[in-house]
């Protein structure tokens, strides 16, 4: 008997759901490594350098609002597709769990991206929750975490991150450089960190930062797209968009002017977490310190055989390598390198199984604790 749409939606809350690619326009070029990760060996860099995974957050792209960019489509049983945002609005408790909805509402509470930079991004920051609550009427600011997956050298530049003001930099200095559009001084005011695959950095809301060219990362963040750009004209950004149409005095208030040495940044924000549990040859390694659980959580799963998971809420999965299956009591999904998926809260306990001869690696990204 053919299954009706309501029955399909109900079943969708109990099985792993395939997440379709959601490429998003940005003001910088990149994306070739995302293409390759998704299985397109002929990928190229362009103006869609991000893939928003399991997103119910709309992208802010001035002049492109009618496109409603950033909203993910998922596949449900029977081969139909539906926007994740719509599915959550119709079945919030089944998708996200009662505790989560009570605390955060009908939203995932987390935004996960694949990001690949072919050029350096402008120096910018994001509002913290207090600023976002006061001026954006939102409970979410934009603390974020960068999980470095792959690097490439472009035009002889070794991949790097720029995080936090160096010692001696003041708000007055920074304000003058922004007013003068002095990109060289703005960038040189930040600590520059060379990165390798496997590095994980936490960037608190308000921290000035920039991502250098040649980095493929998984970015886990609060679900917003608000930015204050210290560099704008040279990146094709209008001044009114650079400060979110709120003027520079308020825009500059968004930045955290704490000074850091390079050693301070490494000590405070580089994440080096232990293996959380191991079963046979399979294990889970936490990626982000529990002190940031109020914003989001993430782990890497390494499956050689099987790895059981406790069904304690919604999460988003990105398959980094290998092949296998994720299995719930109501269904299963075959996954391989490049597959993105999500596990609804009602799916309950489930298991990962690697294919014979294959070691499966999956990054899972979870909402803030509730």
pTM for the complete prediction?
0.97
Mind listing the pLDDT tens digit for each residue in 159-215? 999 999 999 999 999 999 999 999 999 999 999 999 999 999 999 999 999 999 999
Instruction: Using the predicted structure, report yes or no on whether residue 87 has a pLDDT greater than 60.
Output: yes
pLDDT score for 253: 97
Residues 6+ apart with CB under 8 A from 245: none
Question: What is the DSSP track for 77-115?
Answer: TTS-EEEHHHHHHHSHHHHH-HHHHHHH-SS-S-EEEEE
Same domain, 162 and 94: yes
CATH number at residue 119: 2.60.120.10
Residue with tokens 């605390």: 103
How much of the chain exceeds pLDDT 70, in percent?
A: 99
Same domain, 336 and 221: no
pLDDT score for 197: 98
How many domains is the chain built from?
2
Same domain, 224 and 344: no
Same domain, 210 and 315: no
Same domain, 150 and 170: yes
Distance in angstroms (rounded) separating the CA atoms of residues 164 and 148: 18
Residue with tokens 């991000």: 50
Distances (CA, A) of 151 to 178, 234, 237, 363: 30, 25, 27, 18
DSSP tag of 46: B
Same domain, 315 and 248: no
Same domain, 152 and 84: yes
Is 131 within the bounds of a domain? yes
Instruction: Using the predicted structure, report yes or no on whether residue 331 has a pLDDT greater than 80.
Output: yes
Mind listing the pLDDT tens digit for each residue in 113-169? 999 999 999 999 999 999 999 999 999 999 999 999 999 999 999 999 999 999 999
Instruction: Using the predicted structure, report yes or no on whether residue 291 has a pLDDT greater than 80.
Output: yes
pLDDT score for 2: 66
Q: Choose the final residue of a domain: 269, 286, 315.
A: 269
pLDDT score for 312: 82
Is 6 within the bounds of a domain? no
pLDDT score for 295: 99
Is 1 within the bounds of a domain? no
What are the start-end ranges of the H helices in the chain?
5-12, 32-37, 84-90, 92-96, 98-104, 129-131, 171-179, 183-188, 239-242, 247-253, 262-269
Containing structural domain, residue 291: 275-366
Q: 140: closest CA among 152, 129, 149?
A: 129
Same domain, 147 and 241: yes
Q: Choose the final residue of a domain: 269, 301, 324.
A: 269
Same domain, 116 and 245: yes
Same domain, 66 and 179: yes
- For the chain, give the longest Cα–Cα distance: 71
Average pLDDT of the chain to the nearest whole number: 97
Instruction: Using the predicted structure, report yes or no on whether residue 1 has a pLDDT greater than 80.
Output: no
Is 165 within the bounds of a domain? yes
| Range 300-304 average pLDDT | 99
Residues 6+ apart with CB under 8 A from 66: none
Same domain, 34 and 121: yes
């Amino acid at each position: 008997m053919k299954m009706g749409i309501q029955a399909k939606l109900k079943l969708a809350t109990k099985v792993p759901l395939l997440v379709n690619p959601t490429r998003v326009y940005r003001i910088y070029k990149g994306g070739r490594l995302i293409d390759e990760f998704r299985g397109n060996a002929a990928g190229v860099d362009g103006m869609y350098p991000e893939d928003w995974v399991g997103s119910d957050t709309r992208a802010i792209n001035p002049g492109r609002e009618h496109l409603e960019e950033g909203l993910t489509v998922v596949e449900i049983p029977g081969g139909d597709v539906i926007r994740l945002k719509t599915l959550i609005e119709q079945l919030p408790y089944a998708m996200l769990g009662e505790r989560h909805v009570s605390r955060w509402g009908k939203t995932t509470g987390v935004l996960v991206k694949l990001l690949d930079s072919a050029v350096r991004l402008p120096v910018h920051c994001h509002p913290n929750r207090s600023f976002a609550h006061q001026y954006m009427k939102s409970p979410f600011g934009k603390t974020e975490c960068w999980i470095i997956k792959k690097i490439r050298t472009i035009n002889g530049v070794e991949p790097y991150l720029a995080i936090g003001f160096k010692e001696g930099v003041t708000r007055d200095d920074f304000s003058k450089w922004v007013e003068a559009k002095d990109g060289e001084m703005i960038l040189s005011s930040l600590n520059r960190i060379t990165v390798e695959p496997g590095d994980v950095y936490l960037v608190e809301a308000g921290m000035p930062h920039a991502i250098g060219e040649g980095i493929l990362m998984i970015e886990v963040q609060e679900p917003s797209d608000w930015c204050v750009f210290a560099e704008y004209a040279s990146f094709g950004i209008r001044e009114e968009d650079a400060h979110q149409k709120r003027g520079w005095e308020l825009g500059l208030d968004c930045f955290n002017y704490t000074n850091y040495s390079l050693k301070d940044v490494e000590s405070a924000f580089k994440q080096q977490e232990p293996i959380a549990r191991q079963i046979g040859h399979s294990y889970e390694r936490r990626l982000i310190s529990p002190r940031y659980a109020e914003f989001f959580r993430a782990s890497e799963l390494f499956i050689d055989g099987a790895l059981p998971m406790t069904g304690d809420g919604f999460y988003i999965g990105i398959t980094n390598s290998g092949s296998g299956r994720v299995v719930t009591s109501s269904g299963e999904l075959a996954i391989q390198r490049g597959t993105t998926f999500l596990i609804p809260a009602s799916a309950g306990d489930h298991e990962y199984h690697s294919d014979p001869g294959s070691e499966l690696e999956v990054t899972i990204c979870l909402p803030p604790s509730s």
